[in-house]
Amino acid sequence: MPLSTRLCALSVALFGSASALAADIQFTSKLNEKTDALVVFQDSEQSNAFKFLDRDTRKQLNKAMEADKFSGDYGKVVEVLAPVDSKHQRILVVGLGERDELDSAKMAKLGGNLHAKLEQKEAATVSVAFKGVNGQLSNHELAAQYAHGANLRDHTFELYKKEPNTHSMTYNLSVDDQGQTQAEYTTLSHIEQGVFLARDLTSEVPTEMTPVDFANAAKQLEQYGVEVKILEPEQLKSLGMNALEGVGRGSKEGSRLVVAHYKGNNDTPIALVGKGITFDSGGYSIKTGKSIARMKSDMAGAAAVLGTVKAMALAKADVNVVAVMGMAANMVSENSIAPGDVLRTAEGLSVEILNTDAEGRLVLSDAMWYARTYYKPEVMVDLATLTGSKIRAVGNRYAAVFSDDEHLISEFTVAGKAVNEPLWRLPLGYKDMLKSDIADIANVGSGGPGATTAASFLQHFAGETRWLHIDIAGNALASSGKGEVSAGGTGFGVRLLSEWLLSN
């Protein structure tokens, strides 16, 4: 692509028109009766929230529910087309399941799935009868989560399509308390903006999302009061960050360290460290399988921590959070590092590169050192699409979490459940598997579980700081939409980190 087109595509991506228009969401006290579709709910105790409908319509719904053996199970839908006495083209009766099991995660997922269903039907206006709906959470929290799920599902990456999806939907949710619901949703909408940024950065193709492109995207956050710093290869070398610098050596632009700091208070900062391999060929230990075509997503950890900083800045949250992102393209050229090379990290430890495809831990080692040295964080959390071994261990529904800090593990596990980004703990404790004949440590283990030896490698660079590592391999790029997640970059981690930052 010529440079001018390229810059244009990039700026489109950064300013958001790469995506379909977001849904328009209104909370009201009165239901809009003139919309294309109406959504009403019923739980498994058969108590429903559509007593407001006229007698004939209710009769029609009840008959359809009976014919479909619908008993209010969570996520089940009965659809009635063109009800005789109604202005709506369709009414959807949606099962809520057991009320005492109805939480934020279930509601967001429901909002996402119903959005996809209504989008398929090309509904332009939708009323959702939320009045009287309660569960584990109050009416305003559940309604806000429903809208959150719908809007998250609405976002797709359309930049390369001849006919981008321009369909937009207007929602009218009638709720118990308009003001409280709006306030609740406003916070969630800031988190959405962070998720959308992370998704767009992840979905963008590798030659359009290099370390420099990513750094430019981070710069955009300055308008929200975020302090952004970018370190170039020469600066990395002079600070001794040779592991980060080395990984990017085979690419034209080289590596970058990108720092984005949102200081919402004067507390000791929380550091979020992200792996940002904008394309991972594997280097000379080149990847051979089909998975190489998904390797634009190897920067999803960096995208997620940057998205989280954006969310916190937009929300003007009372947190002090700094994202430190190690960015490089792991390419093959005569300048690339070779298997057998030794790189010295800023920490001082030398690393023998037994496999150039185990590069994520190298960029993270120096990024973690930088975060500790320059920000002395209270807690350091790193996010990385780190190992295939993690996918074999826990699949792509869970992210794997590693830490010796029981409090952090339990806080993050709770946060993950609340936002449908669940975590499964795997052990640390294989530091001794990283022996090298020539250097202090090797970058891959001589046997041992791969996700854990990678985490154990990182542990060398955590120092005395409270530290938690999240391996999001397999979570970053979805081949199809599901719940509140649309196909493409998922933004996995933004909601998890935001939930944890805002509730701890």
Locate 138 and state its tokens.
């109050």
Ligand-binding annotation for 275, yes or no, is yes
**Cβ 345 to Zn ion shortest distance, Å:** 17
How many Å apart are CA 404 and CA 467, to the nearest integer? 8
Sequence-ordered strand ranges (E) for 85-211: 90-97, 125-129, 170-174
Subset of residues 14 to 73 that bind Zn ion, contact rule: CB under 5 A:
none
Here's the x/- map for Zn ion, 375-414, by CB under 5 A: it reads as: ----------------------------------------
| Cβ-based nearer residue to Zn ion, 195 or 444 | 444
| Cβ-based nearer residue to Zn ion, 269 or 282 | 282
- The sign of the dihedral angle between the CA atoms of 351, 209, 301, 280 is negative
Measured CA to CA in angstroms, residue 400 lies from 210, 251, 458, 476, 483 at distances of: 27, 30, 14, 13, 21
| Cβ-based nearer residue to Zn ion, 239 or 444 | 444
Per CB under 5 A, the segment of 254-262, 276-284, 361-369, 437-445 that binds Zn ion is 276-284
Locate 80 and state its tokens.
């009635």
CA 483 to the chain's CA centroid? 14
Per CB under 5 A, the segment of 275-283, 417-425, 465-473, 479-487 that binds Zn ion is 275-283
**Cβ 329 to Zn ion shortest distance, Å:** 11
Amino acid sitting at position 167? H
Q: Which residues contact 172 (CB under 8 A, 6 or more apart)?
A: 26, 28, 31, 32, 35, 125, 126, 127, 128
Give DSSP secondary structure letters for 192-208.
Answer: HHHHHHHHHHHHS-GGG
| Cβ-based nearer residue to Zn ion, 284 or 430 | 284
Ligand-binding annotation for 234, yes or no, is no
Amino acid sitting at position 324? V
Burial 100-111 (b: 16+ CB within 10 A, else e): eebbbbbbbbbb
**Cβ 148 to Zn ion shortest distance, Å:** 33
Position of minimal CB gap to Zn ion: 357
How many Å apart are CA 430 and CA 449, to the nearest integer? 8
**Cβ 135 to Zn ion shortest distance, Å:** 43
| Cβ-based nearer residue to Zn ion, 323 or 331 | 331
| Alpha-helical segments (H) within 136-291 | 139-154, 178-203, 211-219, 233-238, 242-247
Task: Give strand pairing partners of 388.
Answer: none
**Cβ 385 to Zn ion shortest distance, Å:** 9
Ligand-binding annotation for 499, yes or no, is no
| Site size with Zn ion, rule: CB under 5 A | 3
The answer to whether residue 192 forms part of the interface with Zn ion (CB under 5 A) is no
Q: Which of 199, 310, 361, 495 is catalytic?
A: 361
Of 141, 245, 347, 357, the residue at the interface with Zn ion (CB under 5 A) is 357
Q: Is 130 left (phi over 0), alpha (psi -120 to 50) or beta?
A: alpha
**Cβ 355 to Zn ion shortest distance, Å:** 8
| Cβ-based nearer residue to Zn ion, 192 or 357 | 357
Asked if residues 38 and 59 have their Cβ atoms less than 8 Å apart, the reply is no
Locate 59 and state its tokens.
């009769």
Q: Which residues contact 449 (CB under 8 A, 6 or more apart)?
A: 389, 393, 426, 427, 430
Amino acid sitting at position 489? G
**Cβ 442 to Zn ion shortest distance, Å:** 15
Here's the x/- map for Zn ion, 462-491, by CB under 5 A: it reads as: ------------------------------
The answer to whether residue 245 forms part of the interface with Zn ion (CB under 5 A) is no
CA 443 to the chain's CA centroid? 27
Q: With CA atoms as reference, report the closest residue to 153 among 63, 272, 20.
A: 20
* 431 labelled catalytic: no
Give DSSP secondary structure letters for 34-76.
Answer: TSSEEEEEEETTS-BS-TTS-HHHHHHHHHHHHHTT----TT-
| Cβ-based nearer residue to Zn ion, 191 or 444 | 444
Q: Which residues contact 304 (CB under 8 A, 6 or more apart)?
A: 198, 274, 383, 472, 491, 492, 493, 494, 497
**Cβ 326 to Zn ion shortest distance, Å:** 13
Ligand-binding annotation for 366, yes or no, is no
| Cβ-based nearer residue to Zn ion, 95 or 474 | 474
Ligand-binding annotation for 280, yes or no, is yes
| Cβ-based nearer residue to Zn ion, 357 or 471 | 357
* 425 labelled catalytic: no
Helix orientation angle between 360-375 and 450-459, rounded to the nearest 10 degrees: 30
The answer to whether residue 280 forms part of the interface with Zn ion (CB under 5 A) is yes
Per CB under 5 A, the segment of 301-309, 337-345, 358-366, 477-485 that binds Zn ion is 358-366
**Cβ 280 to Zn ion shortest distance, Å:** 4
Per CB under 5 A, the segment of 100-108, 209-217, 273-281, 417-425 that binds Zn ion is 273-281
Q: Which of 121, 287, 417, 425 is catalytic?
A: 287
In the annotated binding site for Mn(2+), the residues are 275, 280, 298, 357, 359
Question: What positions carry a catalytic annotation?
Answer: 287, 361
- Name the residues that contact Zn ion, by CB under 5 A: 280, 357, 359
Binding-site positions: 275, 280, 298, 357, 359
